Structure 1
Amino acid sequence: MGSIPGLSLLLLVVSVSSVHGGKILVFPVDGSHWVNMNLLIQSLHARGHEVTVVRTATSWYIKENTAHYHSITVTLPEAISIEDQDFFVTFLVKMLAIQKQGGSLISFANFYWEIFTVLSKIHQQASLLGVEIFENKTLMQRIRDTDFDMVLLDPGLPVGVLVAHELKLPTVFNVRWITSGEGHFVVAPSPTSYVPTSGFAAPDKMTFVQRVKNLLHYLLNTCIDRFVVCPHYDRLVARYFGPDVSFYHLLQGADIWLMRVDFVFEFPRPTMPNIVYIGGFQCKPSEPLSSELEEFVQSSGEHGFILMALGTLVKGLPVEITSEIAAAFAQIPQKVIWRHVGERPNNLGNNTLLVKWMPQNDLLGHPKARAFVAHGGTNGVYESIYHGVPIIGMPLMFDQFENVLRLEARGAAKVVEVTKLTQQNFLEAIQEVLHNPSYRRNMKRLSELHRDKPMHPLDTAVYWIEFVMRHKGASHLRTESFKMRWYAYYSVDVLCFLLAVLLLLAAAVVASVRFLCFRLCRRRKPKQE
């Protein structure tokens, strides 16, 4: 078949992906997760879809009134912890204190006890959202009457999965993290021999000791999920759907998983037909800076500038650490733009500008950007890859350790441990990234690979959401293996059957040989007599 001209191909893609304005019910997660969910909602609104967002009355970022979506506000008996701006700061302080204890068994136990406590509380609070929705008959009737086409949700807090099941609607996940950790571990085969598990920062080429640790972390994550997190949702399922419905099956049964992952960054691993990769879908070309910022950036001359941002967690860093950082910055010729909202650090140099907010994407895309000091959050990592800016990583919690390790393994980042940070080792890390051209070269290579796609990841995400609406789901892409018993999934029953057959055959052979030997001996005895 001949090639299709570029314009015709574009028209074909547009016509295939178009769909009459649908009605989408959205269950987001607050905080940084909302930033990329909101971008997806804006794109759906621009395509003519009617979007309704379920939020709580104490939502941090998710506004009640906006031009591109309607909202349903639910009041809970108590706010979900992650909707409290001080929650992450308090949690970070505890984690830093535990990390300072070193790698002892006590620190390990303290770390996971804190994780158990926090996760259980967050999901217990989140499960109350399901109770409030299901018990509010007027609200449920209003939702039914709206006649939604599908549910789009972030399964980090998976109450929307239960509502979708009640409404018998297809579901699409906007996902990286799920109740048990990284989303692949729920939906795709995940051999622990070369797939690092959530919470264990390791490369995909692991030593024997690392593989042992990886397996132990996987088992620990499984126990946390089954005995700490899922029971809150199991009780909801039992209460409203009865014993024949499994929460975990509902979770695994999503039609499409929009995975915020790009294998330019992620280690290769097995996947499934209903996983669509949209890593970096929030990335876009930079826009001009404000006159004040542009003037400051241009004053850096040939040295360029460094930007630093640790998300919403920076004010959780103690001033003794931020002062060490400031002292290191003061010794370099580059200008520094530092998003900082906590106590002003000591030793601040004349080359450093503190701001409460910065246009991060636009700064990373500026030709004078030389490096990015970052905590390793997914949004910042992909923006750095997109613009080709190497990273000095300062992971603080959660997946940030794994994110910066992946970049370090590709030679595009240098990692500094926050609890061991000093003016000297931080300065050395900055100088290494600035003066060793391999960091920028490797990041530029990742940027080229990341950008070389037939369709922008955001367009890919919108296409598959509309695909689900057009076809009322995507069950043909979804394996039903998650409904199998564990012994059937791993073929334990088959192996036992084959072993039993083998043993029976062996027993039959042994019995036959013994019988023949016995007969032979009986025949020989009369002859000898």
Structure 2
Amino acid sequence: MRLVVSVCFLSGPGVQGGKILVFPVDGSHWVNMDLLLQSLHARGHEVTVVRTATSWYIKEKAPHYHSITITLPEAISMEEQDFFVTFLVKMLAIQKQGASVMAFLSFQWEMLTSLSQMHYQASQLVVEMFENKSLMQSLHDTQYDVVLLDPGLPFGVLVAHKLKLPTVFNVRWITSGEGHFVVAPSPVSYVPTSGCVVSDKMTFWQRVKNMFHYLLNICIDRFIVSPHYDRLVERYFDPDVSFYHLLQGTDIWLMRMDFVFEFPRPTMPNIVYIGGFQCKPSKPLPPELEEFVQSSGEHGVIVMSLGTLVKGLPVEITSEIAAAFAQLPQKVIWRHAGERPSNLGNNTLLVKWMPQNDLLGHPKVKAFVAHGGTNGIYESIYHGVPIIGLPLLFDQFENLLRLEVRGAANVLDVTKLTRENFLEALQEVLHNPSYKNSMNRLSDLHRDRPMHPLDTALYWIEFVMRHKGASHLRTESYKMSWYSYHSLDVIGLLLAVLLMLTAVTLGSIWFLCSRLCRRRKPKQE
């Protein structure tokens, strides 16, 4: 069936040799974007990537894209490899030691300051481009068909608007949090807000918490993030242009999520779901790794990876993890870039890199210890491997909650982790078949679709290229004032009419009663 669908897709209408301008975000976001670019290049498109001179993932030279390198006065924070590690160390210290309210508020202020600085640095990339007249003329003359961008740092939106090009977002997160909240109706009564670790079935106090996070996200976006881009809009565009409207006005949103994983919520016709598009069947392991896996016998293997942030875990935590692993009969493959634990068991293999997708697809892998990054979660779902979750930052808590609610993960608080509770969580997932059964069900649902999500993404990018946009799928509601959007003016008019009718009715009754009383009075006399 998959072969038939792929053949139909490849033989369908295409774009011969289209030109695509790309504005990616560095770090783990680039892993997803790069896969799309490789596939677009394989289909004959010419891809140009805008990067900064300090990018640490996005290379200047690659076989599948050309690059435009912009030199900034200072590196964008997300392009510094130790930025998030330092952030994690500070956050863990506050959570573990129960720091004072002032220390917590000081950390939050530092975090918001760093966020503001990050977007200021990103906005300067636009200044460098717009002030380079020869570069902008070259971009204009190249006649690109579409701009593909990650709106986590949305500077590419302004360049696309200046070049009058249609846009496609490769997105899950945007300046104000999760992307749906910008483009689709998002009732906070049952749609969890970014940063609020709750399910879609909330108690009253959870709805209060959810509303608080929603308002907090709006305030951060309006007063911390957007002002940097608003100043650029005032400087380089007409007075009637709004940065927020530019975000909402993109043609297609390639949303990196699947409702097998996400809670149900309202959506829009220009949102296309491509969650798990990076997933693929596993390939054979390198010989030495395969030998280690096979040596596990009937007990199988546990895979652990906390991404690059594992360097930020204190040695006392990694030692507890190592001690728990040493008590298991299973073999363990642990991606670990930090200090080697002194109590590492003979059953545990430390590696600086692993073929994660290929390992998760191996039949001897029984469980995955993960931090809850989106890529790892979808690979686990695809291959049906249950998770022991150790969330560290940002959306990882929300991601793992979604799997925990569905019975496919056991989640621990890393600041309260001991060898005892970690070992208990491992044994629970390994020996309770409900975790494996729940993940297998999610895997079956995730795979049961008419077209692979990567093919879906390529189709819609080419759709926008063929038709010079997709305005027929985009609502214009974002141009309405807030009171019109919520029909407060209509409600106000109806209330006014109702009050007027009520007043007229009561006045008429009073008038008739008073006349009737005056008529009865002379007769009584």
Bin for the TM-score computed over the shorter chain: over 0.9
**Cα distance 1:82–1:9, how it changes in 2: closer, same or farther (>3 A)?**
closer
- Whichever residue aligns with residue 514 of structure 2, its letter is F
Task: Give the counterpart of 2:493 among 490, 493, 497.
Answer: 497
**Cα distance 1:101–1:504, how it changes in 2: closer, same or farther (>3 A)?**
farther
- Matched position secondary structure for 2:12: helix
Q: 2:179 matched to which residue of 1?
A: 183
- Matched position secondary structure for 1:79: coil
- Matched position secondary structure for 1:286: coil
Tell me by how many angstroms 1:114 deviates.
Answer: 3.7
Once the two structures are superposed, what CA deviation does each residue of 1:463-498 show, in whole Å capped at 9, x if it has no partner? Answer: 000000011100000011111111011111111110
Tell me by how many angstroms 1:118 deviates.
Answer: 2.2
- Whichever residue aligns with residue 265 of structure 1, its letter is F
Tell me by how many angstroms 1:334 deviates.
Answer: 0.6
Structure 2: distance between partners of 1:463 and 1:297: 38
Structure 2: distance between partners of 1:198 and 1:353: 36
Structure 2: distance between partners of 1:297 and 1:490: 58
- Matched position secondary structure for 2:298: helix
Tell me how many residue pairs correspond in the alignment. Answer: 525
- Matched position secondary structure for 2:113: helix
Tell me by how many angstroms 1:518 deviates.
Answer: 2.3
**Cα distance 1:212–1:18, how it changes in 2: closer, same or farther (>3 A)?**
same
Q: 1:140 matched to which residue of 2?
A: 136
Q: Does 1:303 align with 2:299?
A: yes
**Cα distance 1:191–1:265, how it changes in 2: closer, same or farther (>3 A)?**
same
Tell me by how many angstroms 1:513 deviates.
Answer: 1.3
Structure 2: distance between partners of 1:333 and 1:342: 25
Q: 2:290 matched to which residue of 1?
A: 294
Tell me by how many angstroms 1:113 deviates.
Answer: 2.5
Q: How do residues 271-286 of structure 1 correspond to structure 2 at under 5 angstroms?
A: 271-286=267-282
- Whichever residue aligns with residue 61 of structure 1, its letter is Y
Q: 1:410 matched to which residue of 2?
A: 406
Structure 2: distance between partners of 1:117 and 1:432: 41
Task: Give the counterpart of 2:166 among 165, 170, 191.
Answer: 170
Structure 2: distance between partners of 1:257 and 1:99: 36
**Cα distance 1:98–1:382, how it changes in 2: closer, same or farther (>3 A)?**
same
- Matched position secondary structure for 2:410: strand
Q: Does 1:426 align with 2:422?
A: yes
Structure 2: distance between partners of 1:25 and 1:458: 19
- Whichever residue aligns with residue 83 of structure 1, its letter is E
Q: 2:42 matched to which residue of 1?
A: 46
Structure 1: distance between partners of 2:423 and 2:3: 51
Q: Does 1:330 align with 2:326?
A: yes
- Whichever residue aligns with residue 393 of structure 2, its letter is M
Structure 1: distance between partners of 2:200 and 2:101: 25
Structure 2: distance between partners of 1:372 and 1:6: 28
TM-score (norm 2): 0.97
Task: Give the counterpart of 1:453 among 446, 449, 456.
Answer: 449
Q: Does 1:258 align with 2:254?
A: yes
- Whichever residue aligns with residue 178 of structure 2, its letter is E
Q: 1:231 matched to which residue of 2?
A: 227
Task: Give the counterpart of 2:392 among 396, 410, 414.
Answer: 396
Task: Give the counterpart of 1:211 among 201, 207, 210.
Answer: 207
Q: 1:37 matched to which residue of 2?
A: 33
Tell me by how many angstroms 1:520 deviates.
Answer: 2.0
1:411/1:438 contact within 8 Å kept? yes
Task: Give the counterpart of 2:119 among 119, 123, 129.
Answer: 123
Structure 1: distance between partners of 2:403 and 2:99: 23
TM-score (norm 1): 0.97
Structure 1: distance between partners of 2:271 and 2:385: 28
Tell me by how many angstroms 1:15 deviates.
Answer: 3.6
Once the two structures are superposed, what CA deviation does each residue of 1:289-333 show, in whole Å capped at 9, x if it has no partner? Answer: 111101111111111111111111000101111011111111101
**Cα distance 1:107–1:492, how it changes in 2: closer, same or farther (>3 A)?**
farther
Tell me by how many angstroms 1:115 deviates.
Answer: 3.2
**Cα distance 1:208–1:7, how it changes in 2: closer, same or farther (>3 A)?**
closer
Q: How do residues 29-108 of structure 1 correspond to structure 2 at under 5 angstroms?
A: 29-102=25-98
Structure 2: distance between partners of 1:94 and 1:41: 36
Structure 2: distance between partners of 1:199 and 1:8: 42
Q: Does 1:346 align with 2:354?
A: no
Once the two structures are superposed, what CA deviation does each residue of 1:327-364 show, in whole Å capped at 9, x if it has no partner? Answer: 11111011111111111112101111111110000100
Structure 2: distance between partners of 1:211 and 1:108: 24
2:258/2:275 contact within 8 Å kept? yes
**Cα distance 1:101–1:478, how it changes in 2: closer, same or farther (>3 A)?**
farther
Select between 102-111 and 442-451 the one with higher mean Cα deviation: 102-111
**Cα distance 1:46–1:209, how it changes in 2: closer, same or farther (>3 A)?**
same
Structure 2: segments with no counterpart, 5+ residues:
none
- Whichever residue aligns with residue 427 of structure 1, its letter is L
Q: 1:27 matched to which residue of 2?
A: 23
1:101/1:107 contact within 8 Å kept? no
Task: Give the counterpart of 2:368 among 368, 372, 376.
Answer: 372
- Matched position secondary structure for 2:169: strand
Q: 2:316 matched to which residue of 1?
A: 320
- Whichever residue aligns with residue 508 of structure 2, its letter is S
- Matched position secondary structure for 2:208: helix
Taking only aligned residues, the RMSD between alpha carbons, in angstroms, comes to 1.6
1:99/1:107 contact within 8 Å kept? no
2:408/2:438 contact within 8 Å kept? yes
Tell me by how many angstroms 1:111 deviates.
Answer: 5.4
1:404/1:413 contact within 8 Å kept? yes
Once the two structures are superposed, what CA deviation does each residue of 1:194-253 show, in whole Å capped at 9, x if it has no partner? Answer: 111100111111111111111111111111111111111111111111321110000000
Structure 2: distance between partners of 1:385 and 1:302: 23
- Matched position secondary structure for 1:367: coil
Tell me by how many angstroms 1:110 deviates.
Answer: 4.7
- Matched position secondary structure for 1:303: coil
1:194/1:204 contact within 8 Å kept? yes
Structure 1: segments with no counterpart, 5+ residues:
none
2:5/2:451 contact within 8 Å kept? no
- Whichever residue aligns with residue 522 of structure 1, its letter is R
Structure 2: distance between partners of 1:371 and 1:526: 97
- Whichever residue aligns with residue 475 of structure 2, its letter is T
Tell me by how many angstroms 1:145 deviates.
Answer: 1.0
- Whichever residue aligns with residue 135 of structure 2, its letter is L
- Whichever residue aligns with residue 462 of structure 1, its letter is L
